[in-house]
Amino acid sequence: MRVRKRKKRLFRLFILLFFIFLGGTSYLFIKNYREYQQVMVLEEKVSQKVTEYGLDSYKEIILSMIYTESKGLGDDPMQSSESAYGEAGKMMVAEDSIQQGVEYFAQALILGQENGVDLWTAVQAYNFGLDYIYYIAENGGINTVDLADQYSGDILAPQLGNTTHTRYRYWHTSALLHNGGYLYHNGGNMFYAEKVRWNQQKIMFFQELEKIIS
């Protein structure tokens, strides 16, 4: 009798956990698809700018950067104010943000090619600044989270006033796996390239899904 009751309890628990998992998965799918749609509203503007700069083959990367920066929302979807004006909150028109963002990324790509580093170094440099390219060129030419961590903590953060290497919580899977979930104050985001890479996979997935549905 007790064994039968225990089995019933376990079965109910399994059903409950299954529906919780199903609900959570559905929520994440819908949330990510909405974010994808928000980003793709800007696709035409991005297409114009990448063609202007001869970066058509990097269009998905730039859309993925927009996904990472703003999920396509706001007046500064590429968060270009800092590269243009040295401070946040100055960009007031989405098209200007994309213009500046694509131009800055083009600079990173050219500098990266000149110094023999990989694409993801140029992507990470969009967040860290172009000096990061020289750092990676001197340290193997391939961007890694470990190198980004060193640059963030030892170079970028102190340059911007964080000389004591203070950190703050950052709840992201890559961060949790790497260092328990932390970023350095004033040290940019050492996981930026990883996030862009992941968001690129999301965009590609939804693009293929839409092709199948249509």
Q: What is the mean pLDDT of residues 89-114?
A: 95
Evaluate if residue 10 carries a pLDDT over 70.
Answer: no
Which of the two residues, 8 and 26, has the higher pLDDT score?
26
Domain for residue 4, yes or no?
no
Domain for residue 153, yes or no?
yes
To the nearest whole number, what is the mean pLDDT of the chain? Answer: 90
Domain for residue 139, yes or no?
yes
Domain for residue 175, yes or no?
yes
Nearest Cα to 97, choosing from 59, 62, 55, 125?
62
pLDDT recorded at residue 111: 98
Evaluate if residue 163 carries a pLDDT over 90.
Answer: yes
Q: What is the pLDDT of residues 57-82, one digit of tens each?
A: 999 999 999 999 999 999 999 999 98
Least confident piece of the model among 12-21, 38-47, 64-73, 179-188: 12-21
For residue 64, give Cα distances in angstroms to 3, 42, 69, 150, 194: 53, 11, 9, 25, 11
Q: Which residues form the domain of 136? A: 118-193
pTM value? 0.87
Give me the residue label for tokens 């999301």. Answer: 202
Is residue 115 a contact partner of residue 94, using CB atoms and an 8 Å limit?
Answer: no
**Number of domains into which the chain is organized:** 1
Domain for residue 78, yes or no?
no
The domain that contains 154 carries what CATH number?
1.10.530.10
pLDDT recorded at residue 125: 98
DSSP letter (8 states) at residue 169:
E
Q: What is the pLDDT of residues 118-155, one digit of tens each?
A: 999 999 999 999 999 999 999 999 999 999 999 999 99
Share of the chain above pLDDT 90, in %: 75
Domain for residue 135, yes or no?
yes
Give the residues across from 184 on adjacent strands: 167
Least confident piece of the model among 84-98, 147-161, 169-183: 84-98
